A and B are shown apart, each in its own frame.
Chain A
Amino acid sequence: MRIFDPHIHMTSRTTDDYARMAAAGVLAVVEPAFWLGQPRTNPGSFTDYFDSLVGWEPYRAAQFGIAHHATIALNPKEANDPRCRPVLDLLPRYLDKDRVVAVGEIGFDSMTPDEDDAFERQLALAVEHELPALVHTPHRDKVRGTRRSLEIVAASGSAPGRVVLDHLNEVTVDLVAGSGCWMGFSIYPETKMSPPRMVEILRRHGPERVLVNSAADWGVSDPLLTLETGRAMLAAGFTDDDVDRVLWRNPVGFYGQSGRLDLTGAPSAEPTFAGSSIKRGGS
């Protein structure tokens, strides 16, 4: 089973996790910019974080044969802090980077006017930089938040096929299914979605435009729940090809729309060119 985790916060994970993920067949990840446990108080904290997402983290991942890409944005929660908002003016520099494959995570946390504004401005940046967008749906008041997110996406001029709404569940999936946007599901040990519930959604909706991720971060989460979901799919009678579509070809298809996905480091893809002296992993 080859696995592309389209949403995982590796900054919060240990190097042991990379080793376990590689052993489990995770060959590629996308790390969206998001909040940390501790709120930030100035734009410099964000730029150092973004630097890590396009510098140190891909380097660390490559040492385990994992191709690492990032999405960059001011997240909805911190969009409410006037001390953090100036980071919006620094985003264009990062949105031009080779390994940045989307604008995200954008969307709503508490559905404030500041969140509205940051959401709209960043969708416009996605269009300008020819990037897809990753939209976080809120944990509280989720149905209304999802509905409003879809309205804002529709008004933005972004093609629905270039936008994913993430952290969906049984009560929000139908709203998004009809919109043409991609549907993201985060599989968690206790909250969000579980592998058996994910299998049920796949039974009802099929694999089209579905992304399954671990969204593993600094909370109770598990980077191998993508693998568990693949196994649950097989146990439920899905074919190897179905699993490959959901766990590999779909994320490649979605983020591939950036034109910047580089999977040459992943063992499954073409071998790297001969003569690359210091490989991405180095030493």
Chain B
Amino acid sequence: MIGTERLRDALRDTPHWEWVDAATGEPEAIGRSFAAAGRRTSRAPLPGVPGWTVDEAARALLLTALPTALQNAHQTLQTAHPPARVAAEVAAELAVAVAAEVGDLYRYGDADEKRAVLKALPLLPVGPDALPLVHDAIRTNDARLVAAALGPYARHLDQAAWRQAVLKCVFMGVPLAVVDGLDERADAELAAMLAAFAAERAAAGRPMPDDAAALLHRLTSEET
């Protein structure tokens, strides 16, 4: 998985670092900086980090600056609540607060912003609280959002929803390479769904995508 440090290091080597550095220092202005990141930086691929563009990485860093900002606000509150509560309770509260802020940015984001939020989810201390965003993205007809929803954070999806999402990728022509941990998680039920899809395609005289056919082959040959 691509980590925050790798994104930060790669961004440092671009001409856009100055803007990113300044914007991450003002987490209270994230509503505007998050929206403007595309035109303030660049939509070109981020050198050295396959699968990420400069603006996606910039937006991810803006999001990773949120927990500290929210934590500081929380700590001020907590001093009024002695005795000190257990760390787990505090972490859970922070996860809810971060997920709410991230959820708001997603809700009012354009397609590029939504995609950046989805890609950044594994880097944020939100636990499973941001799962509704993944469900929202999978419901869309935008192949870029469906693809971004199936990164490492999709481990929080239950198995039935995950299988449906994988099948939706096949249906939409999204390469299965976007699905994180595909082979580890693919099961007999997914194989049955893929086999049924292949039969339907065959009946219609339409081809099954190669990567889906290969996955079906791997799943069925493992069984025998």
Interface residue ranges, A against B (CB under 8 Å):
47, 51, 54-56, 58-59, 93-94, 96-99, 259-260, 273, 275-278, 280, 282-283
Contacts and interface: CB of A to CB of B under 8 A. Distances in A.
21 contacts: A51-B110, A54-B110, A55-B110, A55-B142, A56-B141, A58-B111, A59-B141, A59-B142, A59-B144, A93-B35, A96-B31, A97-B35, A98-B110, A99-B110, A259-B39, A277-B51, A282-B142, A282-B143, A282-B172, A282-B174, A283-B143
B173 to A, nearest CB: 4
Contacts of B112: 98
Given A273-B45, A276-B45, A283-B174, A97 B110 contact: yes
B36 interface: yes
A212 to B, nearest CB: 27
B38 A283 contact: no
A273 B55 CA distance: 14
Interface in B103-127: 108, 110-112, 114
Contacts, number: 55
A85 to B, nearest CB: 19
Interface string B39-79: 10000110000010000000000000000000000000000
User: Which of A99, A275, A277 gathers the greatest number of chain B CB atoms within 10 Å?
Assistant: A277
B147 interface: yes
Interface residues of B, number: 23
Given A273-B44, A275-B45, A276-B45, A54 B143 contact: no
Nearest to B38: A98
Contacts of B140: 56
A283 B176 CA distance: 12
A96 B34 CA distance: 9
Contact of A278 (B35, B36, B141, B143): B143
Given A54-B110, A56-B140, A96-B35, 6 more contacts: A93-B31, A93-B108, A277-B51, A280-B144, A282-B142, A283-B174
A275 B38 CA distance: 18
A98 B35 contact: yes
Contacts of A283: 143, 172-174
B39 A282 contact: no
A282 B35 contact: no
A62 to B, nearest CB: 10
Interface string B7-48: 000000000000000000000000110011011000011000
Contacts of B35: 93, 96-98
Q: Name the 3 nearest CB pairs between A and B, nearest first.
A: A282-B143, A283-B173, A96-B35
A98 B143 contact: no
Interface in B126-149: 140-144, 147
Nearest to B143: A282
Contacts of A94: 108
A276 B45 CA distance: 7
